[in-house]
Protein backbone atom coordinates (compact mmCIF):
# COMPACT_ATOMS: atom_id res chain seq x y z
CA UNK A 1 0.00 0.00 0.00
CA UNK A 2 2.78 2.39 0.82
CA UNK A 3 4.42 1.54 -2.46
CA UNK A 4 1.14 2.30 -4.22
CA UNK A 5 1.01 5.79 -2.79
CA UNK A 6 4.62 6.62 -3.50
CA UNK A 7 4.47 5.33 -7.09
CA UNK A 8 1.44 7.30 -8.15
CA UNK A 9 2.78 10.69 -9.19
CA UNK A 10 0.75 12.93 -11.45
CA UNK A 11 2.23 11.27 -14.54
CA UNK A 12 0.08 8.17 -13.95
CA UNK A 13 -2.67 10.25 -15.44
CA UNK A 14 -6.28 10.36 -14.41
CA UNK A 15 -8.78 8.22 -16.34
CA UNK A 16 -9.33 9.55 -19.81
CA UNK A 17 -12.87 10.75 -19.27
CA UNK A 18 -11.70 13.96 -17.62
CA UNK A 19 -9.75 14.99 -20.65
CA UNK A 20 -9.64 18.77 -20.40
CA UNK A 21 -6.04 19.36 -21.49
CA UNK A 22 -4.04 21.69 -19.33
CA UNK A 23 -0.54 23.03 -19.78
CA UNK A 24 0.57 21.94 -16.32
CA UNK A 25 -1.00 18.72 -15.17
CA UNK A 26 -2.55 19.16 -11.73
CA UNK A 27 -4.95 16.52 -10.59
CA UNK A 28 -8.28 17.78 -9.32
CA UNK A 29 -9.98 16.61 -6.21
CA UNK A 30 -12.43 14.22 -7.77
CA UNK A 31 -10.04 12.54 -10.19
CA UNK A 32 -7.63 9.84 -9.27
CA UNK A 33 -5.60 7.12 -10.91
CA UNK A 34 -6.33 3.44 -10.53
CA UNK A 35 -3.35 3.10 -8.25
CA UNK A 36 -4.59 5.91 -6.05
CA UNK A 37 -7.98 4.21 -5.89
CA UNK A 38 -6.35 0.98 -4.80
CA UNK A 39 -4.38 2.85 -2.17
CA UNK A 40 -7.51 4.65 -0.97
CA UNK A 41 -9.59 1.52 -0.67
CA UNK A 42 -6.66 -0.44 0.72
CA UNK A 43 -6.13 2.06 3.51
CA UNK A 44 -9.82 2.22 4.33
CA UNK A 45 -10.17 -1.56 4.34
CA UNK A 46 -7.19 -1.87 6.66
CA UNK A 47 -8.53 0.85 8.96
CA UNK A 48 -11.99 -0.75 8.99
CA UNK A 49 -10.41 -4.08 9.90
CA UNK A 50 -8.57 -2.51 12.83
CA UNK A 51 -11.75 -0.75 13.93
CA UNK A 52 -13.99 -3.79 13.69
CA UNK A 53 -11.62 -6.58 14.66
CA UNK A 54 -11.95 -6.49 18.46
CA UNK A 55 -15.72 -6.57 18.12
CA UNK A 56 -15.66 -9.39 15.58
CA UNK A 57 -13.25 -11.27 17.79
CA UNK A 58 -15.43 -11.29 20.89
CA UNK A 59 -18.45 -12.30 18.81
CA UNK A 60 -16.36 -15.15 17.38
CA UNK A 61 -15.07 -16.36 20.75
CA UNK A 62 -18.51 -16.10 22.34
CA UNK A 63 -19.91 -18.60 19.82
CA UNK A 64 -17.43 -21.29 20.76
CA UNK A 65 -17.20 -23.75 23.64
CA UNK A 66 -16.19 -22.70 27.14
CA UNK A 67 -12.49 -22.98 26.42
CA UNK A 68 -12.67 -21.23 23.06
CA UNK A 69 -10.55 -18.30 24.18
CA UNK A 70 -7.64 -20.63 24.77
CA UNK A 71 -8.00 -22.41 21.45
CA UNK A 72 -9.79 -20.19 18.93
CA UNK A 73 -9.20 -22.82 16.25
CA UNK A 74 -11.92 -25.02 17.70
CA UNK A 75 -14.66 -22.44 17.47
CA UNK A 76 -15.77 -23.06 13.92
CA UNK A 77 -16.21 -26.80 14.41
CA UNK A 78 -18.10 -26.37 17.71
CA UNK A 79 -20.41 -23.44 17.08
CA UNK A 80 -23.03 -23.07 19.78
CA UNK A 81 -25.05 -20.55 21.71
CA UNK A 82 -24.35 -22.28 25.04
CA UNK A 83 -22.51 -19.31 26.48
CA UNK A 84 -25.46 -17.06 25.75
CA UNK A 85 -27.92 -19.51 27.28
CA UNK A 86 -25.76 -19.70 30.38
CA UNK A 87 -25.38 -15.96 30.75
CA UNK A 88 -29.10 -15.43 30.35
CA UNK A 89 -30.28 -18.20 32.65
CA UNK A 90 -27.56 -18.93 35.22
CA UNK A 91 -26.50 -15.41 36.09
CA UNK A 92 -28.03 -12.11 37.14
CA UNK A 93 -27.35 -10.77 33.69
CA UNK A 94 -31.02 -10.07 32.82
CA UNK A 95 -31.33 -8.06 36.01
CA UNK A 96 -28.18 -6.00 35.26
CA UNK A 97 -29.45 -5.49 31.76
CA UNK A 98 -32.75 -4.17 33.05
CA UNK A 99 -30.94 -1.83 35.43
CA UNK A 100 -28.78 -0.49 32.61
CA UNK A 101 -31.79 0.02 30.35
CA UNK A 102 -33.55 2.02 33.07
CA UNK A 103 -30.48 4.09 33.88
CA UNK A 104 -29.38 4.70 30.28
CA UNK A 105 -32.94 5.34 29.12
CA UNK A 106 -33.55 7.77 31.97
CA UNK A 107 -30.28 9.56 31.35
CA UNK A 108 -31.10 9.88 27.65
CA UNK A 109 -34.56 11.32 28.26
CA UNK A 110 -33.42 13.70 30.97
CA UNK A 111 -30.21 14.56 29.11
CA UNK A 112 -31.87 15.36 25.80
CA UNK A 113 -34.60 17.41 27.42
CA UNK A 114 -32.26 19.43 29.63
CA UNK A 115 -29.59 19.86 26.98
CA UNK A 116 -32.06 20.96 24.33
CA UNK A 117 -33.82 23.50 26.50
CA UNK A 118 -30.57 24.87 27.92
CA UNK A 119 -28.93 25.00 24.50
CA UNK A 120 -31.93 26.81 23.07
CA UNK A 121 -32.01 29.28 25.91
CA UNK A 122 -28.33 30.11 25.50
CA UNK A 123 -28.72 30.36 21.74
CA UNK A 124 -31.76 32.67 21.70
CA UNK A 125 -32.04 34.53 24.95
CA UNK A 126 -29.80 37.19 26.37
CA UNK A 127 -29.59 37.03 30.13
CA UNK A 128 -26.96 37.94 32.67
CA UNK A 129 -24.20 35.36 32.78
CA UNK A 130 -25.04 34.15 29.28
CA UNK A 131 -21.43 34.02 28.13
CA UNK A 132 -20.14 32.54 31.38
CA UNK A 133 -22.70 29.77 31.19
CA UNK A 134 -21.17 28.35 28.00
CA UNK A 135 -17.75 28.49 29.59
CA UNK A 136 -19.02 26.79 32.74
CA UNK A 137 -20.52 24.00 30.62
CA UNK A 138 -17.04 23.36 29.35
CA UNK A 139 -15.54 23.60 32.81
CA UNK A 140 -17.82 20.87 34.15
CA UNK A 141 -16.13 18.54 31.66
CA UNK A 142 -12.91 19.09 33.58
CA UNK A 143 -14.13 17.99 36.98
CA UNK A 144 -12.29 14.82 37.75
CA UNK A 145 -14.55 12.11 39.01
CA UNK A 146 -12.05 11.43 41.79
CA UNK A 147 -12.94 14.72 43.48
CA UNK A 148 -16.70 14.47 42.93
CA UNK A 149 -17.31 10.88 43.82
CA UNK A 150 -17.01 11.03 47.61
CA UNK A 151 -19.06 14.25 48.06
CA UNK A 152 -21.62 13.01 45.54
CA UNK A 153 -21.93 9.82 47.50
CA UNK A 154 -22.68 11.74 50.68
CA UNK A 155 -25.08 14.06 48.88
CA UNK A 156 -27.02 11.20 47.34
CA UNK A 157 -27.00 9.36 50.65
CA UNK A 158 -28.62 12.36 52.30
CA UNK A 159 -31.50 12.22 49.81
CA UNK A 160 -31.67 8.45 50.09
CA UNK A 161 -30.62 8.05 46.47
CA UNK A 162 -27.76 5.61 46.98
CA UNK A 163 -28.48 2.24 45.44
CA UNK A 164 -31.25 3.99 43.55
CA UNK A 165 -31.63 4.37 39.78
CA UNK A 166 -32.61 8.03 40.02
CA UNK A 167 -29.40 8.86 41.86
CA UNK A 168 -27.30 7.32 39.11
CA UNK A 169 -29.38 8.98 36.38
CA UNK A 170 -28.86 12.40 37.96
CA UNK A 171 -25.14 11.76 38.31
CA UNK A 172 -24.79 10.78 34.66
CA UNK A 173 -26.88 13.75 33.57
CA UNK A 174 -24.31 16.07 35.13
CA UNK A 175 -21.64 14.53 32.92
CA UNK A 176 -23.63 14.37 29.71
CA UNK A 177 -25.81 17.49 29.83
CA UNK A 178 -23.14 20.22 29.75
CA UNK A 179 -21.43 18.81 26.70
CA UNK A 180 -24.74 18.14 24.98
CA UNK A 181 -26.06 21.62 25.78
CA UNK A 182 -22.87 23.00 24.31
CA UNK A 183 -23.43 21.05 21.10
CA UNK A 184 -27.12 21.89 20.94
CA UNK A 185 -26.38 25.60 21.33
CA UNK A 186 -24.21 25.42 18.24
CA UNK A 187 -26.90 23.54 16.40
CA UNK A 188 -29.66 25.98 17.34
CA UNK A 189 -27.45 28.84 16.19
CA UNK A 190 -27.66 27.45 12.66
CA UNK A 191 -31.49 27.61 12.67
CA UNK A 192 -32.63 31.03 11.43
CA UNK A 193 -34.17 33.35 14.00
CA UNK A 194 -36.96 34.18 11.53
CA UNK A 195 -38.54 30.85 12.36
CA UNK A 196 -38.86 31.84 16.02
CA UNK A 197 -40.31 35.17 15.04
CA UNK A 198 -42.84 33.53 12.74
CA UNK A 199 -43.91 31.30 15.61
CA UNK A 200 -44.26 34.27 17.91
CA UNK A 201 -46.38 36.11 15.34
CA UNK A 202 -48.65 33.08 15.05
CA UNK A 203 -49.27 33.30 18.77
CA UNK A 204 -47.08 30.53 20.11
CA UNK A 205 -45.50 30.83 23.55
CA UNK A 206 -41.68 30.75 23.72
CA UNK A 207 -41.88 27.15 24.83
CA UNK A 208 -44.45 26.41 22.11
CA UNK A 209 -42.10 27.85 19.49
CA UNK A 210 -39.29 25.77 20.82
CA UNK A 211 -41.31 22.58 21.02
CA UNK A 212 -43.36 22.79 17.83
CA UNK A 213 -40.97 24.53 15.42
CA UNK A 214 -37.38 24.29 16.57
CA UNK A 215 -37.17 20.79 18.01
CA UNK A 216 -38.31 19.13 14.75
CA UNK A 217 -35.69 21.11 12.85
CA UNK A 218 -32.97 20.19 15.30
CA UNK A 219 -33.39 16.42 14.97
CA UNK A 220 -29.82 15.68 13.85
CA UNK A 221 -28.46 17.55 16.85
CA UNK A 222 -30.89 15.84 19.18
CA UNK A 223 -29.90 12.47 17.76
CA UNK A 224 -26.25 13.05 18.61
CA UNK A 225 -27.24 14.27 22.06
CA UNK A 226 -29.31 11.16 22.65
CA UNK A 227 -26.51 8.94 21.42
CA UNK A 228 -23.95 10.62 23.61
CA UNK A 229 -26.14 10.56 26.75
CA UNK A 230 -27.05 6.94 26.19
CA UNK A 231 -23.46 5.83 25.75
CA UNK A 232 -22.28 7.83 28.75
CA UNK A 233 -24.73 5.98 30.95
CA UNK A 234 -24.46 2.60 29.25
CA UNK A 235 -20.71 2.36 29.66
CA UNK A 236 -19.89 4.18 32.90
CA UNK A 237 -18.01 2.18 35.49
CA UNK A 238 -16.68 4.22 38.40
CA UNK A 239 -19.85 5.83 39.76
CA UNK A 240 -21.92 2.75 39.13
CA UNK A 241 -19.52 0.53 41.04
CA UNK A 242 -19.50 2.82 44.08
CA UNK A 243 -23.14 3.88 44.18
CA UNK A 244 -25.07 0.71 43.44
CA UNK A 245 -25.60 -2.38 45.57
CA UNK A 246 -25.70 -5.92 44.24
CA UNK A 247 -29.46 -5.76 43.64
CA UNK A 248 -29.10 -2.81 41.29
CA UNK A 249 -25.82 -3.54 39.49
CA UNK A 250 -25.61 -2.12 36.01
CA UNK A 251 -23.98 -4.13 33.24
CA UNK A 252 -20.65 -2.38 33.58
CA UNK A 253 -20.40 -3.45 37.22
CA UNK A 254 -22.13 -6.81 36.93
CA UNK A 255 -19.94 -8.11 34.15
CA UNK A 256 -16.91 -7.66 36.37
CA UNK A 257 -18.21 -10.38 38.66
CA UNK A 258 -17.30 -12.81 35.85
CA UNK A 259 -13.69 -11.87 36.38
CA UNK A 260 -12.14 -12.68 39.74
CA UNK A 261 -8.83 -11.36 40.98
CA UNK A 262 -6.84 -14.06 39.29
CA UNK A 263 -8.82 -15.22 36.30
CA UNK A 264 -11.62 -14.20 34.01
CA UNK A 265 -14.39 -16.41 32.71
CA UNK A 266 -14.00 -15.35 29.10
CA UNK A 267 -16.82 -17.55 27.83
CA UNK A 268 -19.28 -15.61 29.98
CA UNK A 269 -17.54 -12.28 29.49
CA UNK A 270 -17.60 -12.45 25.70
CA UNK A 271 -21.21 -13.61 25.50
CA UNK A 272 -22.28 -10.90 27.93
CA UNK A 273 -20.23 -8.31 26.03
CA UNK A 274 -21.98 -9.15 22.79
CA UNK A 275 -25.38 -8.86 24.44
CA UNK A 276 -24.33 -5.47 25.84
CA UNK A 277 -23.16 -4.34 22.43
CA UNK A 278 -26.49 -5.02 20.73
CA UNK A 279 -28.50 -2.10 22.18
CA UNK A 280 -25.56 0.28 21.81
CA UNK A 281 -25.19 -0.72 18.17
CA UNK A 282 -28.93 -0.34 17.56
CA UNK A 283 -28.92 3.17 18.99
CA UNK A 284 -25.84 3.87 16.93
CA UNK A 285 -27.41 2.62 13.69
CA UNK A 286 -30.49 4.73 14.36
CA UNK A 287 -28.56 7.96 14.72
CA UNK A 288 -25.43 7.42 12.64
CA UNK A 289 -26.82 9.23 9.58
CA UNK A 290 -27.17 12.33 11.74
CA UNK A 291 -23.88 12.07 13.57
CA UNK A 292 -21.83 14.13 11.15
CA UNK A 293 -24.18 17.07 10.73
CA UNK A 294 -25.18 17.09 14.37
CA UNK A 295 -21.68 17.13 15.72
CA UNK A 296 -20.32 19.69 13.29
CA UNK A 297 -22.80 22.39 14.04
CA UNK A 298 -21.91 22.17 17.70
CA UNK A 299 -18.20 22.07 17.04
CA UNK A 300 -17.91 24.93 14.62
CA UNK A 301 -20.26 27.44 16.16
CA UNK A 302 -19.21 27.30 19.75
Partner 1 sequence: MVAPVAIVLAVLVLYPLGYGFYLSLTDANEANVARDIGAFHAPATYKMVWFDNYWSVLSGADGDFYPRLIWTVIWTLSCVVLHIAIGMGLALLLNRRMRAKLLYRALLILPWAVPAFVGVFAWRLMLNSQYGVFNDMITAVGLPAQNWLATPFAQKTAVIMVNVWIGVPFNMVALLGGLQSIPKELYEAAEMDGASPWQRFVNITLPGLRPVTNTVVLLGCIWTFNMFAVIYLLLGQNTTGEADILVTFAFRKAFTGVSDYSGAATYGIVILALLLAFSTFYRRRQLKTEQA
| Complex with partner 1: residue 95 or 284, whichever CB lies closer | 284
Nearest approach, Cβ of residue 244 and partner 1 (Å): 14
CA distance linking residue 65 with residue 86, whole number of Å = 12
Transcribe 42-97 into DSSP letters.
HHHHHHHHHHHHHHHHHHHHHTS-TTTTT-GGGTGGG---HHHHHHHHHSSHHHHH
Q: What is the CA radius of gyration of the chain?
A: 25
Q: At what angle do helices 165-189 and 130-140 cross, to 10 degrees?
A: 130
Per CB under 8 A, 231 contacts partner 1: yes
Nearest approach, Cβ of residue 59 and partner 1 (Å): 10
Per CB under 8 A, 148 contacts partner 1: yes
Per CB under 8 A, 136 contacts partner 1: yes
Binding residues for partner 1, rule CB under 8 A, total 99
Quick one: residue 62, left, alpha or beta (phi over 0 = left, psi -120 to 50 = alpha)?
alpha
Per CB under 8 A, 270 contacts partner 1: yes
- Of residues 201-220, which lie at the interface with partner 1 (CB under 8 A)? 206-207, 210
CA distance linking residue 199 with residue 208, whole number of Å = 8
Contact region for partner 1 (CB under 8 A) — 11-19, 83-91, 144-152, 195-203?
144-152
- Of residues 21-80, which lie at the interface with partner 1 (CB under 8 A)? 24, 26-30, 32, 37, 40-41, 43-44, 47-48, 50-52, 54-55, 57-58, 61, 69-72
Nearest approach, Cβ of residue 173 and partner 1 (Å): 6
- Which 3 state secondary structure label does DSSP give 205? coil
Per CB under 8 A, 257 contacts partner 1: no
Contact region for partner 1 (CB under 8 A) — 1-9, 75-83, 191-199, 289-297?
289-297
Per CB under 8 A, 264 contacts partner 1: yes
Contact region for partner 1 (CB under 8 A) — 11-19, 76-84, 85-93, 148-156?
148-156
CA distance linking residue 181 with residue 238, whole number of Å = 23
> Contacting partner 1 (CB under 8 A), which of 21, 144, 203, 216?
144
Transcribe 250-290 into DSSP letters.
-HHHHGGGGB-SS-B-HHHHHHHHHHHHHHHHHHHHHHHHH
> Contacting partner 1 (CB under 8 A), which of 170, 214, 223, 244?
170
Nearest approach, Cβ of residue 25 and partner 1 (Å): 10
Angle, CA of 24, 26 and 30, to the nearest 5°: 150
Amino acid sequence: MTSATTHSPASVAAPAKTAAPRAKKVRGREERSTLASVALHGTLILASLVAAFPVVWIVFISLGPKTAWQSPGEVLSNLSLDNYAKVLTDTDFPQWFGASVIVAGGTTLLGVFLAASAGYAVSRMRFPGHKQLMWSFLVTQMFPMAVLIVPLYELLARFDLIDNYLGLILTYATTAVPFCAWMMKGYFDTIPHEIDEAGRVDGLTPFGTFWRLIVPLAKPGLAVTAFYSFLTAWGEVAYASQFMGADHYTLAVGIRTFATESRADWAMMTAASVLILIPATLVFLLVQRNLVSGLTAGGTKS
